[in-house]
């Protein structure tokens, strides 16, 4: 059973199509990273996923239950860290833990306190006095306390510094190691999620333009570059059906999405021309796919 299944989900605001027939499945025990620029439809998708909005067409299944029509039972075993964590500002983390514990059959209060300690957050500071990043960390500690089967995180490292970000991912990694939890995460922290996610989805203008295993994705993208002076090599770049070709400094480079080690360099480029072939980071792949190259930012 896949803990999350989206089937042909469409969301429209007036005549603007926010999500266009999006389908995906998150396998049990995996980490699914949903990426997209602001305005790509991520927020609408997460709202529907958590039963907060009814899609115009299609449906969402969470642990085999419809997120809209059976919201309460669907979300009973789901831990959620929202983009804007919210709680009564005068309650501290310990009080929040006690309050929430009554809503769940099992509640690991000691684990909650241990996480706060690892985050370096006092259990007695009122929620309203915490920074945005700390609110997110309290929210994560609360989400993990009932030992959920599924965790949904909406940009949990937004506004966190490097140390706090490492602590958040560290908790996630610990849960994965200890309990084999399933994770669905949206994030702009592509470098942080790259070595953790098993599968990646990319939303662009409401459409899911990519839904693939991380390893396969990383394996088929390469940057191929030649010295500009090597006209023969440069003309061959076009034959690779690249996503983009650009001249940079001394070199001409192409980003290709169909790399295959066996046949690629030898048969299609020729050995003599000595192209440089390098792997791309997830961030570079994302930029290549969503099409906005920020010149002067490299």
Partner 1 sequence: MPPTLRIDPRDARPIWRQIEENVQHLVARGALLAGAPVPSVRDLARELQVNPATVSKAYQRLTDAGVLSVRRGEGTFVADTPPAFSDSRRSGRLQEEAVRYASLAVTLGASREEALATFEAAWRSLTNGQPDSEGEEA
Q: Stretches 50-58, 137-145, 214-222, 237-245: which one binds partner 1 (CB under 8 A)?
A: 214-222
> Among 192, 206, 233, 275, which residue sits at the site for partner 1 (rule: CB under 8 A)?
192
Q: Does 160 bind partner 1 (CB under 8 A)?
A: no
CA–CA dist 21, 6 (Å, integer) = 9
C-beta of 98 vs 166, nearer to partner 1: 166
The three-class DSSP label of residue 152 is strand
Closest CA to 64 of 10, 7, 2, 6: 2
The three-class DSSP label of residue 91 is coil
Task: Quote the least distance from Cβ 154 to partner 1, whole Å.
Answer: 20
C-beta of 214 vs 252, nearer to partner 1: 214
Task: Quote the least distance from Cβ 195 to partner 1, whole Å.
Answer: 4
Apex 223 CA angle, 296 and 287, nearest 5: 50
Q: Does 163 bind partner 1 (CB under 8 A)?
A: no
**Strand 16-26 versus strand 4-13 pairing type:** antiparallel
C-beta of 89 vs 195, nearer to partner 1: 195
- Which tokens is 97 given? 């833990």
Rounded alpha-carbon distances, angstroms, from residue 142 to 74, 98, 139:
18, 10, 5
Task: Quote the least distance from Cβ 222 to partner 1, whole Å.
Answer: 8
Q: Does 128 bind partner 1 (CB under 8 A)?
A: no
Q: Does 282 bind partner 1 (CB under 8 A)?
A: yes
Task: Quote the least distance from Cβ 29 to partner 1, whole Å.
Answer: 8
Q: Stretches 37-45, 186-194, 227-235, 246-254: which one binds partner 1 (CB under 8 A)?
A: 186-194
Q: Are 218 and 259 in contact (CB under 8 A)?
A: no
Q: Looking only at residues 216 through 255 of this chain, which bind partner 1 when binding is defined by CB under 8 A?
A: 218-219, 222
**Both ends of the chain: CA-CA distance in Å?**
43
CA–CA dist 22, 59 (Å, integer) = 10
In the complex, which residues of this chain contact partner 1 (CB under 8 A)? 29, 31, 166, 169-170, 173-174, 176-178, 191-192, 194-198, 215, 218-219, 222, 277-282
């Amino acid at each position: 059973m896949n803990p999350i299944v989206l089937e042909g989900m469409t969301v429209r605001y007036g005549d603007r199509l926010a999500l266009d027939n999006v389908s995906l499945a998150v396998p049990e025990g995996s980490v699914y990273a949903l990426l997209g620029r602001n305005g790509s439809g991520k927020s609408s998708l997460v709202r529907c996923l958590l039963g907060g909005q009814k899609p115009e067409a299609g449906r969402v299944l969470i642990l085999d239950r419809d997120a809209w029509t059976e919201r309460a039972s669907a979300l009973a075993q789901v831990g959620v860290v929202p983009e804007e964590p919210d709680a009564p500002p005068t309650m501290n983390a310990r009080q929040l833990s006690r309050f929430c514990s009554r809503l769940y059959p099992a509640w690991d209060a000691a684990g909650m306190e241990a996480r706060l300690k690892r985050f370096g957050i006092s259990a007695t500071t009122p929620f309203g006095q915490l920074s945005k990043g700390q609110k997110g960390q309290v929210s994560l500690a609360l989400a993990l306390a009932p030992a959920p089967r599924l965790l949904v995180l909406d940009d949990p490292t937004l506004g966190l510094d490097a140390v706090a970000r490492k602590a958040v991912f560290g908790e996630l990694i610990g849960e994965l190691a200890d309990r084999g939890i399933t994770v669905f995460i949206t994030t702009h922290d592509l470098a942080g999620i790259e070595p953790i996610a098993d599968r990646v989805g990319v939303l662009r203008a409401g459409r899911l333009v990519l839904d693939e295993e991380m390893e396969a994705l990383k394996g088929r993208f390469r940057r191929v570059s030649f010295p500009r002076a090597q006209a023969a090599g440069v003309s061959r770049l076009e034959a690779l059906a690249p996503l983009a070709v650009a001249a940079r400094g001394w070199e001409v480079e192409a980003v290709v999405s169909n790399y295959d080690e066996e046949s690629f360099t030898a048969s299609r480029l020729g050995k003599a021309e000595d192209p440089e072939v390098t792997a791309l980071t997830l961030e570079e792949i994302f930029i290549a796919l969503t099409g906005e190259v920020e010149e002067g930012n490299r």
